[in-house]
Structure 1
Amino acid sequence: MPTQAIAMGGLLLFGLALLGASGYVAAVGLDRVRTARALREAGPTPIADVADADGPVEFVGTARTDPSDGADNSLEAPLSSEPCLAYTVQSRVRDRPDEDATWNFDGQTSASVPFAVEDGPDRATVDPSEAVLSLDALATDESGWVDRADLSKAERDRLAATGLPGTDGDADQREPTFRQYREHRLEPGDEVRIFGGRVVDSSPSVGGGDWFEISVGERSSVFSDHRRSGSLYVIFGALVAVPGLGFTLAGIAGLASVFVL
């Protein structure tokens, strides 16, 4: 009997743990959906009013370097060597050169520096260290890719520093796979949208929140993607809850049979 009680107790605890995890995941998803809906309905906040915002904000403007500390706050993009405020570099491979061969994404890396967003005379500073960078929103699946064999040594060296796969070695050597890279950049002068960040000081400066995304895409597509991801969280939470409920009920029934019957 003690062994059976311990087993049923463990089953009950496991079921409760699954229910707790499912509730947490579903809550995250619901929060994403609510935040996206609230920001969509409220509309973008004028940059002049960002400092007074309470909670997640959305604003749009022109990206500029942040001169607040007197330094040249910019990055060198790995492929193009162009100065930028943020970049994302992707790599993909396929195992044969045929046109019908499937490309498989096998790496992505991003980097960013603090920058300013301007709208006329108004300015807000953005710390992107905790942000999701959606810099490929306007790209098509086949745009911007460069064959590894066509890269210069300087380009390969810069890519190697990012840690992406396949960037070291001699580009002239035949690989068992065929590899391409592409980059997306946020440059000074680009229009940029900030979603979900929170005001961290009155300068104003905006930093990370539960949802913090920097995008060059259309407003509607960003909200659709966020709402979709939130819905998937809710669905996954519900799916996890099903076995959690089953284990919980089985544990309760088992303990009842041990101590009551």
Structure 2
Amino acid sequence: MSSLGPVAMGIVALFGFAILGGGLSIAAVGVGRLRTARALREAEPIPLGAVPEASGLVEFEGTVQPHGEETLEGPISGTTCLAYTVQSRTRDENGDVGESAWTFDRGISAGVPFAVDDGVDRLAVDPANAVLSLTDWGAEGTPWTDRTALSSDVLDRLQTAGLPEAGTEPDAVDSDPAGVTRRQYREHRLETGSDVHVFGGSVTDSSDRHTLVTVTGDDWFEITAGDEPTVLADRQRSGSLYLIFGGLLAVPGVSFALAGIVGLVSMLFL
């Protein structure tokens, strides 16, 4: 039995080091996200002409223009656009009413490469990996509309775009005899002539004055018209959570590691 003591203490120490290493790794991710958030928060938009020579993450503004012939069709409006976001929400008809009673349950986005122009220079932006915060373009969208008020063509387009519950056949949301739940959809679009803020992308191709901007490493890449990019707040929040969780995980790791080391030393040398 005594021979199992050192082995057991060694296992405890290794277990503690494993937990400690995991906690520190998670905390390091959090620190990295917080540092990036701070750097991006302190950064200012740069002129489009300076973007091709920029290193790291970039931030710039301009007016949206087509880049190539590829366009999209807004699923609800059928309007030609370069990017769109569709949101879905539901409400319990037997409960409270008002905006606070609605629950956002789905959201889809799509975009094609487009150009950003400031009257002097022009860059191309690839939104494939971007967070599209298009709700800032209130004039280029549709109001919340009940599913039952949408045509079968619109419902087909919504289903094709990635909202399967919008199919043309009645579903539980609309066919409940008591009318318990109500579903609505709205659309926001990025169209030619919109003012746009590109935040957190990096240069990947600077040839012919058409610079593709894509996400760097993580998803620190947002296309918005707002002053406070949502990605920045999300990443700062997630960085704090990573740091806190990693720190909490490291505490028992230190305890187990110390207990194992002390027990092992005492058994072998005392």
**Structure 1 residues 56-65 or 180-189, which shifts more?**
180-189
Question: Which of the residues 160, 169, 180 maps onto 2:184?
Answer: 180
Aligned residue for 2:199? 195
Shift of 1:119: 0.9
Shift of 1:103: 2.8
Shift of 1:129: 1.6
Deviation readout 1:152-184 (Å, 9 max, x if unpaired): 101110111123252124349524632122222
Percent identical among aligned pairs is 53
Question: Which of the residues 79, 84, 87 maps onto 2:84?
Answer: 87
Q: Residues 18-167 of structure 1 correspond to what in structure 2 (within 5 A)?
A: 18-67=19-68, 72-100=69-97, 102-137=101-136, 144-167=143-166
Rg (Cα) greater in structure: 2
Aligned residue for 1:238? 247
Q: Structure 1 stretches of 5 or more lacking a match?
A: none
Shift of 1:228: 3.8
The whole-number CA distance in structure 2 between the counterparts of 1:128 and 1:17 is 39
Shift of 1:122: 0.5
CA RMSD of aligned residues (A): 3.0
Shift of 1:80: 1.6
Question: Between Structure 1 and Structure 2, how many residues are aligned?
Answer: 254
Aligned residue for 1:207? 214
* Distance verdict in 2 for CA 1:159–1:36, change over 3 Å: same
Matched letter for residue 92 of structure 1: R
Matched letter for residue 60 of structure 2: F
**Structure 1 residues 106-115 or 24-33, which shifts more?**
24-33
Maintained 8 Å contact 1:93/1:179: yes
The whole-number CA distance in structure 2 between the counterparts of 1:242 and 1:108 is 39
The whole-number CA distance in structure 2 between the counterparts of 1:169 and 1:152 is 9
**Structure 1 residues 117-126 or 165-174, which shifts more?**
165-174
Q: Structure 2 stretches of 5 or more lacking a match?
A: none
**Structure 1 residues 18-27 or 169-178, which shifts more?**
169-178
Maintained 8 Å contact 2:58/2:201: yes
The whole-number CA distance in structure 2 between the counterparts of 1:27 and 1:133 is 28
Q: What TM-score do the two structures reach when normalised by structure 2? A: 0.79
* Distance verdict in 2 for CA 1:195–1:9, change over 3 Å: farther
Deviation readout 1:186-240 (Å, 9 max, x if unpaired): 2221111111211111132211113222222114776455434433332233233
Maintained 8 Å contact 1:97/1:178: no
Maintained 8 Å contact 2:45/2:61: yes
Q: What TM-score do the two structures reach when normalised by structure 1? A: 0.81
Look up the SS of the partner of 2:193 in the other structure.
coil
Look up the SS of the partner of 1:130 in the other structure.
coil
